[in-house]
A and B are shown apart, each in its own frame.
Chain A
Amino acid sequence: MVPISYYLILAAVLFSIGIAAFLIKRNVITIFISIELMLNAVNLTFVAFAHMWHQVTGQIFVFFVMVVAAAEAAVGLAIIISIFRARKTLNVDEIDLMHN
């Protein structure tokens, strides 16, 4: 049996990579992917704990997260496309209308 800590360490590594990418990358799509990465890191911990406690709640939660993430991806990609149409760029440092 694989110990729980392995899952958690893997989730923490994935989550950290997600955060790092979110902070470092400038391309909106890459940032979007890093958010997905973080969500899935969290999903991994949910599943691991659900398995550990023999409870189904965690797995149900994961489905919810996936559904929300899918919806978010749909909306988000639509926004990204419209931004690209308007500004011909996907660099977040240039999409700063709210700044100042």
Chain B
Amino acid sequence: MPQNYLWLIPLVPFAGFLINGTLGRRFPRALISAVALISTFVPACLVAWLWSTMLSPGAAASITLNSGAWISVPGFHVDFALSVDHLTLIMLGVVTGVGFLIHLYSVGYMAHEEGYWRFFAYLNLFMFFMLVLVLSANFLLLFVGWEGVGLASYLLIGFYFRKTSAANAGRKAFVVNRIGDFGFLLAMFLLIAHFGSLDFSTIFSTVDAHPEWHAVRFLTAICLFLILGAAGKSAQIPLYVWLPDAMEGPTPVSALIHAATMVTAGIYMVARCHVLFDRSPAALTVVACIGAATAIFAASIGMVQHDIKRVLAYSTVSQLGYMFLACGVGAYTAGIFHLLTHAFFKALLFLAAGSVIHALSGEQDMRNMGGLWRRIPVTFWTMTMGVIAIAGIPPFAGFFSKDEILFRAFDSGPLGKVLWIVGLITAGMTSFYMFRLWFKTFFGESRFEQPSLESHGAAVHASSSSILVMEAEHDSGHAEHSHGVHESPAIMLLPLIVLAILSVIGGWVGIPAALGGHDEIGHFFDPIFASATPLESSSGHGFELVLAAVSVFVAVLGFYMAYVLYYRKPGASTALATRAKAGYALLVNKYWVDEIYSAFLITPLLMFTRGVLELLIERGIVNGSARASSMTVRGFAWATRTQISGNIRSYAGWLAAGAAAVIAAMIFGHSLWVRP
């Protein structure tokens, strides 16, 4: 039975982490890659086995593996328990499948990097924690995974830790995530207080047994704190600021952690807790509004960024907003569906962007690209699949999931119409910025200048030329690395091709009935979200088709605008930027959010820390009291030390004086303490 081997799924990557993390420094690169790949391939196979058993007819809707008590005190009990249901299956598939592909890609991408073993050790560590996160059967174990992926993310963002910006970005991600984790912790405390348990099934069945708990205050509070946690991890307003900076990490990390898997943990958590959220309309409204606001906000910033990875980062924030929006209108299936397709096409886009960067020896600025489509054709074609998929053009994956979200939003009452319009505008923006990226990178004249040999090692490829020479001996295919634009090696192109295929067909599992499909993914989630998703919409199929047509039209409009501005009239975009100066400045400076946070939150906090905590409490009270006690002891010691003269007669004198004092006390002191 597969559940007996469930624990292997997270522990195999952990073993890989231990091996590479402790011994990897001495391993040859081939061995490091082998360890890392095997320790992600094994869980992928186990997950495939799990899929086949769980989907066979008559299989249980969920399986659980309980490895015994973790915390057991009177009134509170938590087990080391893993459980798998259909939601977990999807997440497992994404994490191990996309994770394995990205490991494969990294073998090629990181081939010239220092710290190769460190990179793969961290990557396997991330896999371990992410699998713990999705497999957990209670909030506490989920929180362990939650914190662990944060740690792995921090380590990998700061992988190039000699670069100040990378180290700062890692710290920023960690600190911002702490704010979200604080919310998650409070939610857990409230759950313990009200349910006496952190077990998913216990809590959810308790809620199910109390139909009268509708919009009760403690459930809303729990949900709001969970939202804070999810907003931190999934980069939603107001905590999204860490994700764009997280692009300082190596590109495969951006693809795996900051696009496909970790950042979707917040959406997974909200979907997992849908029983709680369904009871709190206020919390759901908050989720939907945060999602819609984040979607349009991030998309608008993404339209003017020049760094290819930053465009994708804002795009990720925006797409995560879509998923939040879906959860907020109760369309958890649509949200998870979008999570799935997004994992495919966004991982593809990041990896393709990485391939472009690799081809240009570390160039990330799109102003210095252009005309690449002939020179790196495989990257170009695969990336094109990803661009079309995210832009929402049928029959590519993104269309079905995005359309499902928009339709569900429209279908959910008066507020839903507003959300739908916001989502639709975002869809247009998405299409625009993705095709802008596409045109700027692959078309027009080549604006790429060959970097000099000295500066070659500066950017992403921090490899020194001496390493290159050493590598060239056994890896002569990479010798051309230092001269000229080149297509990436096969080991990088293979994951691109697989992901491109998935980006095309990945959406077909969720073709709605209105378009003649069967919505397999909706039925797949029936056991989990059955109570949440209305099976038949109130508006009918014809209407759904109209909405789909509108969103396709908007996507094509976005494409057309990008075509005009960045292909047909290359100067038009700069002209537009100068004419709409204020708006452009607003977008280019990302609404000054970082500056506002810095002025209103970070600076006062730092002043408080330095002024009150450091000067007054740390130095004044803590250090002061320590110093005072040490000075007291020292003074006393000085006073007695001077008496230890070694002179016998002075000792005798003290002895006599002491004896005299005792006798005096016996004679005269008696009247002082004995009352007659």
- Could you tell me which A residues sit within 8 Å of B by CB distance? 19, 22-23, 92-93, 96, 98-100
Contacts and interface: CB of A to CB of B under 8 A. Distances in A.
B646 A92 contact: no
Interface stretch (B373-381, B383-391, B545-553, B647-655): B647-655
Interface string B187-216: 000000000000000000000000000000
Interface of B: 645-649, 652-653, 656
Contacts of A23: 649, 652-653, 656
B647 A22 contact: no
Contact of B656 (A19, A93, A96): A19
Contact of A99 (B646, B652, B656): B646
What are the 6 closest A-B residue pairs judged by CB atoms, nearest first? A99-B646, A19-B656, A23-B653, A23-B649, A100-B646, A23-B652
Given A19-B656, A23-B656, A96 B649 contact: no
Nearest to B656: A19
Nearest to B646: A99
Contacts of A19: 656
A14 B657 CA distance: 17
Contacts of A96: 646-647
Contacts of A100: 646
Contacts, number: 17
Contacts of A98: 646
14 contacts: A19-B656, A22-B649, A22-B652, A23-B649, A23-B652, A23-B653, A23-B656, A92-B649, A93-B647, A96-B646, A96-B647, A98-B646, A99-B646, A100-B646
Given A23-B649, A99-B647, 15 more contacts: A19-B656, A22-B649, A22-B652, A23-B652, A23-B653, A23-B656, A92-B648, A92-B649, A93-B647, A96-B646, A96-B647, A98-B646, A99-B645, A99-B646, A100-B646
Contacts of B647: 93, 96, 99
Which of A22, A98, A100 is packed against the most chain B CB atoms within 10 Å?
A22
Contacts of B653: 23
A27 to B, nearest CB: 12
B648 to A, nearest CB: 7
Contacts of B652: 22-23
A93 B649 CA distance: 9
Contacts of A92: 648-649
Nearest to B650: A23
A22 B653 CA distance: 9
A81 B647 CA distance: 21
Contacts of B646: 96, 98-100
Contacts of B648: 92
A19 B649 CA distance: 10
B92 to A, nearest CB: 76
Contacts of A93: 647
B331 to A, nearest CB: 88
Contacts of B645: 99
A99 B645 CA distance: 8
Nearest to A25: B649
A98 B645 CA distance: 11
A21 to B, nearest CB: 11
A96 B645 CA distance: 11
A92 B656 CA distance: 19
Contacts of A99: 645-647
B460 to A, nearest CB: 68
A100 B647 CA distance: 10
Nearest to A93: B647
A8 to B, nearest CB: 13
A96 B646 CA distance: 8
